[in-house]
């Protein structure tokens, strides 16, 4: 069993590790079925297990460093933190994740600055996300470095002394494995995913993989902010220190960092799973804040606003008439990646459409082809600007079909069915009707197969169409 010795000295580098607090905490396990991560609501990562293997981590947790005198020019220990919102259970929903756990921690000396943590996972994945939102309602925070710490013991008692570690800076990934894989053949890593919902650029990461050291404050800060990366090629017991920055968080603002724990059965598998984590991400690719539809003079005006966009190719616009299927009616190009508000519009000409109601939705498409649908918006009884007689449906029919037509104004309507000899077979409509879309059924049960005609007269508008009855 290892004993961690923590020594601190007064120094102007403020490094806060939210991983070791001796008081009792609430803890839960996010499980994807493959990867199980147990964590507590003080930022401590208790266990990491993959594919039924033993716990692969000795200790882990969130890091926060500041190059300066820290909050209020004071020095703070781990126990200076308290839980603001306890983690009391999972929140479950279908998409995009199946498990969520929330908690918040804050500093006793500065309770107006806190870190909200959302741990999220989905069944079948090989990674678990930690979304850390640092809110600052007090004084400005300058030169800060949020991150994550992991003291891996892969193979546990019999294997941790044979661990090795490496870097994949293109993925902002640090990973470790047991050399030889006698006790645990899997690979484990920590990685950065996004900053303020924007995917991290390659080589954004800071930190190092290091052996046993005295946990002194300046040493920790140097380790977590290092930009010197050397792969570990000798067996031993190692720790990972990872951070990103420096950032400035002004009063009243937030900084959002998305981190992940990832695992794989081999290096190739680990890297593939890391790529999946980057692709999946706990952020919303396009944040749609409003979507409206209004009808006027035979047109429907669609307007929508996005608060932010990530790799957004654009929007397909789809329409549905009454209970019919959705159809694509247009495309509007997106703005790629942006954190600024974007306004969009699309005009749909419905002057020749006959329907009691219309529904619209957006199909937001990423550059890689993935897509997501918006909720639908509806327009009831859109008034056409022109008279129109629609083709009956179905056609051919047996023995019932529907005939639809549109009236731009209130009109006396006559709708009559004739045979090929011009004989009046049936008067379907002979009334005054309000402007809008209308329909009626024609039942030809008692009639022979053949061609029939239906003729509408409304005001000065006259039109005839052909239909076929086929039993």
67: tokens are: 């190059």
Every domain of the chain and the residues it spans: 13-280, 286-380, 388-469
The pLDDT tens digits for 441-465 are 999 999 999 999 999 999 999 999 9
Q: What is the pLDDT of residue 276?
A: 92
The pLDDT tens digits for 295-335 are 876 788 999 999 878 778 999 999 998 888 899 999 999 99
Q: What is the pLDDT of residue 68?
A: 62
Measured between alpha carbons, how far is residue 388 from residues 292, 384, 410, 434 in Å? 27, 9, 14, 14
Whether 286-380 and 388-469 share one fold: the answer is yes
> Half-sphere exposure of residue 86, counting CA atoms within 13 Å on the CB side?
6
Q: Which CATH class is domain 286-380?
A: mainly beta
Q: What is the pLDDT of residue 17?
A: 40
SS3 334: strand
Phi and psi torsions of 217, nearest 5°: -55, -50
| Long-range pairs for 216-220: beta carbons < 8 A, 24 or more residues apart | 216/7, 216/8, 216/9, 217/8, 217/9, 217/11, 217/13, 217/15, 218/9, 218/11, 218/13, 220/15, 220/17, 220/65
N-to-C CA span, the chain: 84
> From the DSSP assignment, how many helices (H) and strands (E) are in the chain?
3, 32
Q: What is the pLDDT of residue 73?
A: 29
Do 114 and 62 contact (CB within 8 A), yes or no?
Answer: no
Name the average pLDDT for the chain: 84
Q: What is the pLDDT of residue 214?
A: 58
Is the pLDDT score of 263 beyond 80? yes
Is the pLDDT score of 407 beyond 80? yes
Do 471 and 398 contact (CB within 8 A), yes or no?
Answer: yes
Is the pLDDT score of 190 beyond 60? yes
Q: Which of 10-19, 54-63, 202-211, 316-325 has the lowest mean pLDDT?
A: 10-19
SS3 271: helix
The pLDDT tens digits for 142-156 are 888 888 989 999 998
Q: Could you tell me the fold of the domain covering 13-280?
A: Beta-galactosidase; Chain A, domain 5 (2.70.98)
Is the pLDDT score of 286 beyond 50? yes
Query: Where does 388-469 sit in CATH, by number?
Result: 2.60.40.1930
State the pLDDT confidence band at 354, using cuts at 50, 70 and 90.
low
Q: What is the pLDDT of residue 224?
A: 86
95: tokens are: 């998409």
Contacts of 429 (CB under 8 A, 6+ apart): 413, 414, 415, 438, 440
Is the pLDDT score of 431 beyond 90? yes
The pLDDT tens digits for 110-143 are 666 788 888 989 899 999 999 998 888 777 888 8
Contacts of 354 (CB under 8 A, 6+ apart): 384, 388, 390, 404, 405, 406, 437, 438, 439
- Kind of pairing, strands 411-418 and 424-433? antiparallel
**C-alpha span between 254 and 132 (Å, rounded):** 10
Is the pLDDT score of 414 beyond 60? yes
**C-alpha span between 29 and 35 (Å, rounded):** 10
Smallest CA-to-CA distance from 454 within 395, 382, 383, 386 is with 395
């Amino acid at each position: 069993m290892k004993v961690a010795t923590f020594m601190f000295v007064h120094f102007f580098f403020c490094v806060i590790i939210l991983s070791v607090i001796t008081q009792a905490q609430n803890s839960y396990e996010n499980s994807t079925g493959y990867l199980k991560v147990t964590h507590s609501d003080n930022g401590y990562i208790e266990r990491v297990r993959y594919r039924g293997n033993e716990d692969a981590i000795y200790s882990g947790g969130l890091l926060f460093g500041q190059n300066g005198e820290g909050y209020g020019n004071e020095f703070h220990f781990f126990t200076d933190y308290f839980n603001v919102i306890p983690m009391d259970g999972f929140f479950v929903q279908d998409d995009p994740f199946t498990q969520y756990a929330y908690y918040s921690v804050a500093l006793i000396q500065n309770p107006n600055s806190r870190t909200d943590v959302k741990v999220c996972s989905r069944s079948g994945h090989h990674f678990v996300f930690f979304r850390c939102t640092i809110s600052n309602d007090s004084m400005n925070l300058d030169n800060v470095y949020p991150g994550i710490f992991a003291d891996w013991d892969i193979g546990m008692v019999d294997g941790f002394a044979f661990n090795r570690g490496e870097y994949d800076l293109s993925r902002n990934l640090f990973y470790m494995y047991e050399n030889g894989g006698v006790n645990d053949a899997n690979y484990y890593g920590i990685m950065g995913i996004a900053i303020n919902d924007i995917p991290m650029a390659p080589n954004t990461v800071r930190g190092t993989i290091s052996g046993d050291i005295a946990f002194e404050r300046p040493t920790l800060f140097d380790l977590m902010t290092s930009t010197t990366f050397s792969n570990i090629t000798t067996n031993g017991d190692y720790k990972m220190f990872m951070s990103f920055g420096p950032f400035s968080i002004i009063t009243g603002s937030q900084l959002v960092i998305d981190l992940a724990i990832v695992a794989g059965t081999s290096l190739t598998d680990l890297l593939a799973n890391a790529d999946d984590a980057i692709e999946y991400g706990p952020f919303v690719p396009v944040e749609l804040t409003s979507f409206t539809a209004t009808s006027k003079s035979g047109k429907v005006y669609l307007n929508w606003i996005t608060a932010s966009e990530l790799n957004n190719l654009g929007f397909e616009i789809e329409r549905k008439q009454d209970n019919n299927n959705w159809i694509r009616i247009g495309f509007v190009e997106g703005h790629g990646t942006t954190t600024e508000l974007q306004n969009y519009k699309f005009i749909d000409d419905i002057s020749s459409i006959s329907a009691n109601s219309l529904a619209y939705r957006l199909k937001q498409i990423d550059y890689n082809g993935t897509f997501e649908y918006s909720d639908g918006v509806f327009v009831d009884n859109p008034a056409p600007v022109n008279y129109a007689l629609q083709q009956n449906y179905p056609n051919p029919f047996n023995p019932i079909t529907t005939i639809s037509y549109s009236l731009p104004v209130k009109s006396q309507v006559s709708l009559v069915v004739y045979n090929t000899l011009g004989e009046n077979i049936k008067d379907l409509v002979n009334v005054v009707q309000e402007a809008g879309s209308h329909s009626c059924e024609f039942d030809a049960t008692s009639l022979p197969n053949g061609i029939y005609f239906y003729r509408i007269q409304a005001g000065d508008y006259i039109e005839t169409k052909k239909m076929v009855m086929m039993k």
